[in-house]
Chains A and B, each alone.
Chain A
Amino acid sequence: MSATPGYVSKKTGVRWVPVIGLEVHCQLGTRTKLFCGCEVQFGSPPNSLTCAVCTAQPGTLPVLNREALELAVRAALALGCEVRTKSKFDRKNYFYCDLPKGYQISQYDEPYCTGGGIQLSNGRFIRLTRIHMEEDAGKAIHDRGSTTLVDLNRAGVPLIESVTEADVTTAAEAVEYLTTLKAILQYVGVSDCDMEKGELRCDVNISMRPEGEPWRTKVEIKNLNSFRFVEAAIEHEAWRQIEAYESGDPKLFPVQETRLWDPARNVTRTMRSKESAHDYRYFAEPDLPPVTISKVEIERLRGCIPELPHARRERYQKELGLSAYDAGVLTASRALADFFEVVARLSQKPKDAANWIANDLAREFADATLGVPNVDAMAMKPNDLAELIRLVDEGAVNVAGARKVLRVLMKDGGRPKELVKTLGLEQVQDEGQLEAWCKEALVGKEKIVADVKAGKTQALNALLGPVMKASKGTANPERVKEILLRLVQGA
């Protein structure tokens, strides 16, 4: 366990402990919307993916998308939740131009699942209160002159909203929870969780209290579309609340309200206070029958849950002998882990595969995607990397040369063997040529020769550079060392 979480005030010396709950909306990766047959696709022309149902024309009725229910249940099972065989939909009423019906179909008092949670690496368990299904609203675009434009392509897209208990106690725990949640949802094929497309959205509920004291007023923070923002917003909001309480002026104390994270200024600001808070006036959706799913069906779906990240991580360490670090990097996304497994199988060298992917590949991606390699967007296929590993193993190219090949493969693709040739990276296999370079390097190096003869073979390393330089990097360093040793000992 880590040290007691909290923020110690410099002013008063009081340790303030955050009480944090997280609400995450995740878009289900269905082909069509939740209650109509419209396709779900990001970036299509405005209002091109709409129909009479999702634009709320009079007389239309919703019909539940069975695939959405199955994906929602998979998510629940992967998170250890209890899935109910019967749940129902409710109407959540509010008026806004992005919501053509005047209500959102959601689940209120009988969500399809309860319980479950996520285990953190520090041993703490973050409990889930519930997960429910609901439809997304459309998008209101305000930055086009004086009028507001409405795009209903997103209206009716299926979502699950997961809500935790107030179990999170630090910004780092929040980020780990979210990262793990995202990985699990991706693993079980529930969602791509692409935050840039809004497929994963997070709200934070946070209140601060002096250690040991009861909970105080909670504040909700919205508009957190990256995990970095979540971390920064919690840090900022924690201190804002501490300073407010320590001002001693009750007028400045935090009030129950919704605040927006402003990433440009690194602050949270009031969005709406409790007085103007929505009263959603939920009631049972009369247009939809109760949602039913049989125990048999739930068990069938449970059988389809693939190996989850933490199980994979353990297996990589135990069975393949990978380091905890490599196993962690590889399992950060399902696509990356799948990629690794294909390379490991084709090359028969899991450790080399792990090395290349967790280090070289990850490094190449580091700038673009904050450390998580986006395997799908890459030109290189697993069999290419497997071949490259084999070429290194056979001595056809050395590691430095292979790195150059890797960079080209990732960007433009191609055949590794041909790239080694066209980039002039073929290792010189010709013993006579290697020996000639080695002899040249030994000229006038009597001291080194004497040291080596005296048993200090590492003294040879000083000669490696000149030989590699003479070969323009195409010599195999291991082979060069062998030849040097043979020449010295034979002399």
Chain B
Amino acid sequence: MIQKLIMYFQFPFVRYALIVGVLIALCSSLLGVTLVLKRYSFIGDGLSHVAFGAMAVAAVMRFASTTVVVLPVTVICAILLLRRGQNAKIHGDAAIAMLSVSALAFGYMLMNVFSASSNVSGDVCSTLFGSTSILTLSKTDVWLCAVLAVVMLALFVLLFNRIFAVTFDETFAKAIGINADRYNLIIAIMIAVIIVLAMNLVGSLLISALVIFPALSAMRLYRSFLKVTVCSGILSVLCALAGILISILAGTPVGSTIVAADAVVFLICCVLKRIGVGTE
């Protein structure tokens, strides 16, 4: 077993993939806390479907790196959804549902009609549930992912206190002169970027799980914003590592293995909370 791992890790590409996977898992879990608390989870879900549609278009048009196309489209949708959410709170849900379902439908249709590949359902499946292995990512994608993930991490650390203020009490933040709208916009853009990154790791249907599970698990164990964020990051990194290694050894699909690990950890945290561990 160990030998098999060592054999794999002799390829530099496998090592890079592992690093990128862990980085993506880390930044998605950090922002996941804000996403859960701001009740933005549904935006995340909608965006992941939009990303799927964009991915289909990019695949059909045979771009070397799909991320280059998917990223701007998703970011623009995030901004639009946020604007809508602010103007008309009630209709926001319906708008997102419509947008995400149409994106899915058009994406699938395009892939079916135009795809040059003989294995359409395989392509669709891997876009929805993640490639069977992140090792199949193109080299450009791996580098782009790594750079973006590092930028997101740095931005998150820099804005951590602002994100807390805006998430905890937006009205107060505005009252004391914090430009809450600007930070909401930044948060929305960061969410969009992270969704596009996470899509490479777990596919568009499982993104929500990757983003939300670690945050929910951490909230079972800790009660301060800082501790929850740190714990969420650590849990996510551990699950990603475990998921990737298991998938290499057992030949399971990477995305679903990571999400399964996240789900198991969540259950463990629920049990720990029940029996009174971790509530400090």
- Report whether chain A binds chain B: no
Binding site for A on B (CB under 8 A): none
Binding site for B on A (CB under 8 A): none
